[in-house]
Amino acid sequence: MWTEILYGFQVALTPENLFFCFIGTLIGTLVGVLPGIGPIGAMAILLPVSFSLAPLGSFIMLAGIYYGAMYGGSTTSILVNIPGEAASVVTCLDGYQMARKGRAGPALGIAAFGSFIAGTLSIVGLMFLARPLSSVALKFGPPEYFALMSLGLFLVVYMAHKSFEKAIMAGLAGLLLSWVGMDSTTGVARFTFGINELNDGIGVVPLVMGLFGVAEVLLNVEQEIRQEVLKEKIKNLLPSRDDWKQSILPIFRGSFLGFFLGILPGGGTILSSFASYSVEKRLSRHPERFGSGEIAGVAGPEAANNSAVGGAFIPLLSLGIPPNAVIAVLFSALLIHGVRPGPLLITEHADIFWGIMASMYAGNFFLLLLNLPAIGLWVKVLQIPYRILAPLILLFCLIGAYSINSSTLDLKLMLGFGLLGYVMRKLDYEPAPLVLAFILGPLLEASLQQSLIISQGSFLIFVTRPISAVCFGITLLLFLSTFVRPVVRRLKKIKAFGDGAD
């Protein structure tokens, strides 16, 4: 293993790959600092650019955007009280209060160092867990993959931040969109409405750009984003000994909690940061101080959301299943380059597997340099009005969508999905289940067809094989629990009403 890790560093530390790593982390930090763009939108805009790069270089750059956005989001949360990235919402609670008390420097410093420590620990965990999981996954057949992907999709829906029913509808819409085009088994065109350009299906770039890029612009244009950056000079970026004493345990707890929650489908960075904040508040001797400038309330969540990024790569690289929408975009980028993530990635593309991991080490160092010495630059960036950024984002989306196939249909699809994403946000529908279902849809369908061919049309194959039976059993229990929860809530309300009447 150590030989393979050294080989990974040999691949990742070439000047070309270091350059892509720096560019990715720089853009990721910028995306995190600027409210209203998000890593998915930035990755979708750069996805067409990555097609002309080598597979490893493009993946290093896109991955850098993802974990770079987690770093950059804390800057906006602390200085402006606006989360640059959804996972940094919790950082606003104590980070901004620290800044108002003149402690913006220590807040930014502990966020950067905590993110660095957590990111490093998550990479170590990724290196030790990815290979054993890949060995286990080699025993998987089509039924096991179908069951595991079904469980993963249901977990994303089950752990949705808003309505469960709406998340199911979004996921089903994603599956329906994934079926547009030629059936891979029968060769019959489906849902193309006689449009020949749709025979190859809907492109992932127009869909993701529309749902996340165009929709975000439409949402942010209609509301005024006030970015009142603190005027005081930022000083003492290096946390004091007392700051480290209060933060070191939250950083380690957040690192481990975020890593394991990041592995779960639907867990991701948002759940990790909220869970870490809750844990730290519960374990604190002074929970009443949280929300008024407690440094542990910054250190724990920032460590958790960065560690969750490393955890999210485990199911992608070892099982070939993306656990969230951001990783799904990375998954599609590898597929476009002809690289199939999964258990055979280590043997077939060892340079990509170990190169990705080694590049994340380098990316962590780049981010530490970008987030501490260059803090003055990000303060200047925060002062750019959104009325200037919005047209630029739309322009990049239009150029990116058209440049792939030089097709006006892709432009129309992107704008259509932009309107769909806008309406979904307005009606509280989450776009993430739709994107994940859209990308996993063809793999899910292929696994189902292969399983039924093996069993000669019998669905019992999913019950007679242990792994698939366990996965479907867990899915069924989770589904039944959705009916139990409303009943329990209603009984609690009746009990509370009865106690009040007494």
No. of helices (H) and no. of strands (E), the chain: 22, 2
Q: Helix, strand, or coil here: 189?
A: strand
Cα–Cα distances (Å) from 113 to 14, 237, 332, 403, in that order, read 26, 10, 32, 39
Closest CA to 257 of 122, 365, 374: 122
Phi and psi at 227, nearest 5°, equal: -110, 80
**Amino acid making up residue 389:** L
| Terminal Cα-to-Cα distance of the chain (whole angstroms) | 67
Q: What pLDDT is recorded for position 266? A: 60
Q: How far apart are alpha carbons 386 and 38 in whole angstroms?
A: 14
Asked if 51 and 8 touch (Cβ cutoff 8 Å), the reply is no
Closest CA to 417 of 179, 177, 192: 177
Q: Which residues contact 27 (CB under 8 A, 6 or more apart)?
A: 42, 46, 61, 64, 65, 68
Structure tokens at 38: 């998000």
Q: Helix, strand, or coil here: 203?
A: coil
Q: How far apart are alpha carbons 307 and 298 in whole angstroms?
A: 14
- Cβ atoms within 10 Å of 135's Cβ, excluding its own: 12
Which portions of the chain are predicted below pLDDT 70?
1, 35-37, 82-86, 159-162, 223-234, 265-268, 485-489, 491-502
Q: How far apart are alpha carbons 75 and 61 in whole angstroms?
A: 21
Q: Helix, strand, or coil here: 148?
A: helix
- What is the secondary structure of 441-494 as a DSSP string? HHHHHHHHHHHHHHTTT-TTHHHHSHHHHHHHHHHHHHHHHHHHHHHHHHHHHH
Q: How far apart are alpha carbons 94 and 107 in whole angstroms?
A: 9
Residue 491 exposed, middle or buried by CB count within 10 Å (0-12, 13-18, 19+): exposed
Asked if 75 and 108 touch (Cβ cutoff 8 Å), the reply is yes
Q: How far apart are alpha carbons 355 and 20 in whole angstroms?
A: 12
Q: What pLDDT is recorded for position 145? A: 84
Structure tokens at 68: 């770079």
- What is the secondary structure of 21-73 as a DSSP string? HHHHHHHHHHHHHSTT-HHHHHHHHHHHHHTTS-HHHHHHHHHHHHHHHHHHH
Indicate the pTM of the whole model.
0.78
Q: How far apart are alpha carbons 256 and 122 in whole angstroms?
A: 8
Q: Helix, strand, or coil here: 181?
A: strand
Q: Please, what's the largest Cα pairwise distance for the chain? A: 75
- Sort residue 406 into left (φ over 0), alpha (ψ -120 to 50) or beta: left
- Please, what is the angle between helix 375-382 and helix 55-80, to 10°? 70
pLDDT, one tens digit per residue, over 209-265 is 888 778 878 887 776 555 555 555 667 778 888 888 888 999 999 899 888 888 876
Q: Which residues of 424-463 are buried (b: 16+ CB within 10 A; e: fewer)?
A: bbeeebbbbbbbbbbbbbbbbbebbbbbbeebeeeeebbe
**Amino acid making up residue 143:** P
